[in-house]
Structures are given as structure tokens and as C-alpha cells.
Chain A
């Protein structure tokens, strides 16, 4: 699934290409053998928990960190050893890093000046960039006189005015409050479509990554675990970490029994396609919204099914979230079935009949909606 072609990737050279990129700081391996291709015009998110190496990866593209190993090309040009000022990329920094001693206008004009673009041509481009991020009238203010959202726009304009081949964004929305963040998500996405520049952005917020990007690269411990569209990584996580990190999921422990079945520790043998040898320890990932609850005895035919008892029911307005403790099944022959009772989280629309805590239920799901993940 990592080989699925990016939807927006053109037929030409990739905007960013990494082969075996590693970065070590002393004994610490920050980035470990990353292979990555980002297509021209793509909105790509590097997603992972803090300390996973995503920011270092971004900084290597910017030239602020030099890879210890590997090849790095931007539009076909090997740039691994180039200094940042020679690279056709610009960065929106996490805390914006606006120059406090310059006005908004001077901040935006900085990159143009450094490339020797001055006079009316520069003025026109600065005005265009200012208009692009809707900061007209703020030109002569200092960064300290702006709100967080406005500062963010200055940082964007300061980068975009240079028409970089790739725009790098390091947690661009991290410093904003929730409401503004959601607004900026939409705006940033629209802006990217408008300017048509390849955006590579780093975030630890999986919702943000899924909402904004064409493709997502999930990182952990310096390694790139999975690359795919938001739907791919959400519906078919490559491993346990991705399944757990992207959205909420139920991970049911078990071992593979055949290419089409998994024996769960809870007892039941359920249908689940996998490409692993029989006997491999795995987890079955079932998203809460894919879990269906039935009253005992009303179980559908043909679907994997477990019995349990509701231990918690939470009303969320648009949905109910139920926690179901799975009862060990007697049908688990030979194995010490379900020593530790698993719990399953289920989510259902409020339209359906409400169930109460303590009610015995059966849970089922469609085999196609699950993914078998190994470590």
C-alpha cells in the first residue's frame, strides 16, 4: 500500500525524494533510513508523536540539518550537502520565527532582498503575498503587535512570496487555539490549491493530518512506518503502531490461523485476511464505528461475533460510545481462552436504540472492515 501512487503526483520528477536518509546526533538516531517520494503539487503530512524524527526530516529538506547518510533530491537535484540559502524551499517555523526588529512588510520582503530583488518588482510581489494572506493594512506593524493568527499569516506570506518549489511547515497550527486552528486548516488547504506549491507539513495531530493532506507519512522512532492516503492509513494501517496512533481503534490480540482467519485470545476464530504465516502473533484492528452491537441471540449470520457485557455507555450527542467487556468464549478449544478479558469500544449513531450498561450484548463487524496488524 506504500506503493500506491499519490493522487496529485504528476508524472514528472518528484518534488522531494529521499533514499536511506538517516540523521544521528551523537549516539541518538533521530531519523533512521527514511525512503520517501513526495509528488509535485502534493500536500504531504509527516505525522508522528513528538521525538519521532519528523521535524528533523523536515529540517533536512530545508538544509537546517545535514543528513548523516542517504540521498536527498529536490526536483531531481541532489541537495543533501547544500546550505539552506541555496535550496529552493522555504519554511514556516513552529513559533513563526518572525524578525522582531522588522515590520510585517520588511519580514515578507526579506527573502526577495536576499535574492537581490528590489524596487517596484519586489514591492509588487510583497503586496501580492500580503493580499494572499489577507494582511492588507498591517504592513507597517511589528510582529509583536499582531495576534497569533496574524503572525502565522506573516510567516506564510514571508515564505510564499519567494515562490518556493516546496513549502515546509513545522507544526504550523500548533500555537493556535482550537477554533482558529480548524479555520486555518481549511484556509491552508485552499491556499495550497491556489498557489499549487508542494506542501510538506509536520504535525503530531492525526486529525489535522487526515483532514488536510493528500498523503500521510506516519513516523515513529525515526522510522517511516507507512505512507498512504488518509483513507489508506486509517482503514489499512500497516502495523500496530499506525493502527493505534491514527484515530481510535480496538486491537484484539490473537494469532494467525490461516491466510483467512485469526484466532483471538478472547476465544473465537474470526475471518480476517492476512499475509502472515500461521501462528504469528497479531492484533486485529477494528474501528469503533465498524463495530455493531446486537442483543444476545440476534447475531447476524456469517459475521465474526463475540459475546460481552456493556460496562459503559457515553452519550456524545451525535453518537453513543459503548465499552463492552468481552466474555471468554467456551468455544476456544485447547487454548486457555481469554485469560484477560478484552474490551471493545463501539460507536453508534444516536438514532439507534440506546443500550444501557450491564446489558449482555453480542458485537460483530464486517471482516472487510478490519485489518490484521503485526508489530
Chain B
């Protein structure tokens, strides 16, 4: 299926350019339209199926028995689901806050300052984006184990838990936030800061009143990406979690071994609703406001 889809996309412009008459143009346009619909279907039909079947009043996933919200009740009544959801939210929110602050700081430092080790930082800060999840997960696990061994010699008995999951998420989220914020900084006109300085603003107030509001859409987009990635992550969460630190995706992944249940459909639909809400909220945030800043 994916191959078919790619082929049709490549052909369409060619048809457009080689055949110029009105008739062929019209058929080319029809082809493009069909292609667009195909892509939409490819992307969204599974989602629609998931959502529909999450309202299936049946014990078995593939047998439709009528509309019902019973599996939502079931899911929300499941203490394991609720506790996994809690862990997910704690990890996602805390890692997003920390990585947004640190990632923005990294982006600003790389954009503004020439310091020792800048090139090295510039080259490595994006590494977590390209290295495979599994490598990152193993790396973090080894790191935590070694670090705990070292710290434990001074007394405390540290174990993997919610904190280590959050730290793992921060480790990769910083990179994503930095990339997004830096793209925004590239378009930022530095003379605006000079103008603010010239108009009696201290460096800090220049940042607060001019720089920050203007790069805020970038920071918001970065934060949203971090939140989504954190809520979504399975591999790193599974490796860095200890007992009682199971996130929702990890829970879903572990229960799916016993087969897909309608309850999982319901949970997935809820997660989908959450991410769609987040995206819409961020788009609304990023729209230029017409009243006071």
C-alpha cells in the first residue's frame, strides 16, 4: 500500500507537465484529487475504525454488537489504567516543563553566544533525535545503574521509578524543544532587541517584553511536541521504569500480549482525543492575537 501511494504521487506532477491540453489537465487534476483522498483514507480510516470499535458493546473486538460506552466505563474503572494514566501525566508534564526551559536555553545559547565548546554542543545537542530509541533506552538504563551504584555508596538506596522515567524523557525532549525554538530564533530580528535596549529596557526586560513574546509560538510548539512525545513513548519508559512507574503506553503494550480488547480501543481513543485537543490548543495559542500582547 505505501508503495502504491508513493508511485501515484510521483506520477501526478509529471502528467501535469508533459500533457498540456485542457482535457488532460482536467484528468490530471482528477488524478491528483483521487490521490489526495487516498492519502486521507490511508491515514484516517484506521483511526475511524478504532474510534467506532471503541464504542462496540461486545467482548470481542472484531464482532460488532451495538453502540455502547461500556468499555470507556470499564477502562476508567480499571485502577491499573488510572494509575498508569497518572504516571503518564506526571512524567509528561514534569518532563515537558523541564525540557522546555532547558531546550529554550540551549537554543538561545547556540543562537546568541560564541563560547568554548559551542560547536561541540551544536553538533551533539540533536543526537537524541537521531539515535534509535532502543539505544537511548539501554544507554539510560546503564547510566542510571552506574549512577545509583556510585550514589548508593554514600548511603541512599536509589531505584528506578517515576523520576528516572521523567529524566529519560527530559533527555530526549531537550533536543526536540531546542530544534523547534532555534528555527524560530533564526527568523528573529535582533534589531528589535537593540530597539528595546535603546528604549531603556534592561537585558532581562528586553527578554521578557520583546524576545520571549516573539519566540513564544516556537516555545509553545516545542513544549507541545515534548508533551506528545512523552505521552507517546514506550521504549524508553519501559526501560527506565521501576515497579509502580508504568506509563499508559507501556501498560497498553504489556496488556496487548493477551490480545486486543475493546477496553484498549477505548483507552487509545481517549489518548487520541487528548492529543487532538493539545494540537488544537497549540494552534489557537500560536495564532497572532488581535488585542493586547
Say whether A95 faces chain B, with CB atoms less than 8 Å apart: yes
Docked CA distance A162–B195 (Å) = 13
Asked whether A106 and B292 contact (CB < 8 A) given A97-B192, A101-B213, A114-B205, the answer is yes
Known contacts A97-B191, A106-B292, A106-B293; is-contact A91 B205 (Cβ 8 Å): no
Interface flag for B201 (CB, 8 Å): yes
Please encode chain B, from 197 to 221, with 1 for each CB lying within 8 Å of some chain A CB and 0 for all others: 1111110010001100110000000
Contact bitstring A132-174, B, C-beta under 8 A = 1, else 0: 0000000000000000000000000011001000000000000
Q: Do residues B198 and A110 form an inter-chain contact, with CB atoms below 8 A?
A: no
- Cα-based distance from A110 to B195 in the complex (angstroms): 10
Whether A99 and B292, one on each chain, are in contact in the complex, defined by CB atoms closer than 8 angstroms, is no
Pick the interface stretch among A82-90, A192-200, A233-241, A313-321: A82-90
A100 at the interface (CB under 8 A from B): yes
Alpha-carbon separation in the docked complex, A187 to B196 (Å): 26
Bound together, the chains give a CA A260 to CA B288 distance in angstroms of: 71
Give the chain A neighbours of B198 by CB distance below 8 A: 62-64, 84-85, 89-91
Within 8 A of B (CB), among A60-99: 62-64, 83-86, 89-91, 93, 95, 97-99
Contact partners of B293 in chain A: CB under 8 A: 101-102, 106
Asked if A101 contacts B214 (CB within 8 A), the reply is: yes
Q: How many residues of B contact A (CB 8 A)?
A: 20
A-B contact count (CB 8 A): 64
Judging by beta carbons under 8 Å apart, are A85 and B213 in contact? no
Contacting pair A100 B214 (CB below 8 A): yes
Contacts of A93 in B (CB 8 A): 191, 194-195
Chain A residues within 8 Å of B199, by CB: 85, 90, 110-111, 114, 158-159, 162
Docked-complex contact B197 and A83, CB < 8 angstroms: yes
Most chain A CB neighbours (cut-off 10 Å) among B198, B213, B288, B292: B198
Q: Confirm or deny: A179 has a beta carbon within 8 angstroms of a beta carbon on chain B.
A: no
> Are B197 and A64 neighbours in the complex by a CB distance under 8 Å?
yes
Q: Which residues of B contact A111 (CB under 8 A)?
A: 199-200
A214 to B149, CA, bound (A): 77
Quick check: B200 and A99 within 8 Å, CB to CB?
no
Q: Are A85 and B195 in contact (CB-based, < 8 A)?
A: no
- Interface residue? B189 (CB, 8 A): yes
Determine if A99 and B192 form an interchain contact, defined as CB atoms under 8 angstroms apart. Answer: yes
Listed residue (B199, B202, B210, B292) with the most chain A CB atoms within 10 angstroms of its CB: B199
Decide if B195 touches A114 in the complex (CB within 8 Å): no
Q: In whole angstroms, what is the CA distance A110 to B196 when docked?
A: 8
State the Cβ distance, B102 to closest chain A Cβ, in Å: 25
Q: Is the CB of A85 within 8 A of B200?
A: yes
Min CB distance, A171 to chain B, in Å?
13
Instruction: For the complex, give the distance between the alpha carbons of A93 and B195 in Å.
Output: 8
Given contacts A64-B198, A90-B199, A91-B198, 13 further A-B contacts (CB under 8 A): A83-B197, A85-B200, A97-B191, A97-B195, A99-B195, A100-B192, A106-B292, A106-B293, A110-B201, A111-B200, A114-B196, A114-B202, A158-B199
- The 7 closest A-B CB pairs, nearest first, are A111-B199, A114-B200, A97-B195, A84-B197, A97-B191, A114-B201, A85-B200
A-B contact pairs, 26 of them (CB 8 A): A63-B197, A63-B198, A64-B194, A64-B198, A84-B194, A84-B197, A84-B198, A85-B197, A85-B198, A86-B200, A89-B198, A90-B199, A91-B198, A93-B194, A97-B191, A97-B194, A100-B214, A110-B196, A110-B199, A111-B199, A114-B196, A114-B199, A114-B200, A114-B202, A115-B200, A162-B199
Give me the interface of B with A, judged by CB distance under 8 Å: 189, 191-192, 194-202, 205, 209-210, 213-214, 288, 292-293
